[in-house]
Amino acid sequence: MSSRSVVGRPPEERPGPESAPARPRGAREPVRSWALGWPARFSRAVLWPTLCEPIVRTFYSLDALGAERLSGTPAPVIFAANHCAHLDNAFIIVSLPKPWRRRLAIAAAAADIFGPRHLGLPIKGTLAQLLGNAFPFARRRGPARVDHLQSLLDQGWSVLIFPEGKLTVGGPMQPFKAGIGLVAVGSRTPVVPVRVDVLRRGPWEGGGRLSRGRVQVRFGAPMRFAADEDPEDATARLEAAVRAL
């Protein structure tokens, strides 16, 4: 039979790229990772309230301020935080309202977290993926890392990033790298400034094995950036917002 349609009968619709739902502007191919799957998500939903959070609260007095500013803010967002403690990720996760914890990914230093291997196994990186939904984020500039982050945002995952690019235990806060401005402007996603302050050092900051630290986590109001804003200006605005918290 001819492939042409019969007169008076509409052509048969065939599945194809043109019939697929349009991908939002700026969207990338969906990220594929076992850490995004339901077994890992279920594990985090069980491990954080039963194991991780109790450990954090045993060794630290934790004050969370400003989390109510997330009320009414549509997800996803980018959380931009200073990096002053080994357990920054845990402090921020415990301070977040539970709905925000469930859809969070963490940009982790590729060389420091995913590079080291113990007994030939990537134990550190695997634990970071299991407990924090972490993904490798290289310090050097490059489209691949930004595409990965953008794809997570496209799928509705909020992303926690540390714009200083390195850990300074106890502070002071270091200047932000220019990459956060590029991400903020390019993604067109609200950015929530976050400040972590170690008011009293705990075991992981050299305060002693039996010491109990005190930490304060403050959330700022979500910030939005125009598509034509200079990324350097966006970086400066974000750094100033975190310092001001």
Q: Are 157 and 44 in contact (CB under 8 A)?
A: no
**Rounded Cα distance, 28 and 144, in Å:** 11
Cis peptide before 76 (omega within 30 of 0): yes
What's the pLDDT at 211? 85
What's the pLDDT at 6? 42
Q: What is the DSSP letter of 70?
A: G
Give the pLDDT confidence of 141-165 residue by residue, as tens digits: 555 567 788 899 999 999 999 999 8
**Rounded Cα distance, 186 and 150, in Å:** 9
**Rounded Cα distance, 180 and 78, in Å:** 10
What's the pLDDT at 170? 84
| Strand arrangement of the beta sheet that strand 213-219 belongs to | 60-65, 213-219, 191-200, 78-81, 158-161, 104-109, 134-137
- 3-class SS at 211? coil
Give the pLDDT confidence of 201-214 residue by residue, as tens digits: 999 888 887 889 99
**Rounded Cα distance, 193 and 244, in Å:** 10
How does residue 136 score in pLDDT terms, banded at 50, 70 and 90?
confident
Residues linked to residue 172 through DSSP beta bridges, in sequence order: none
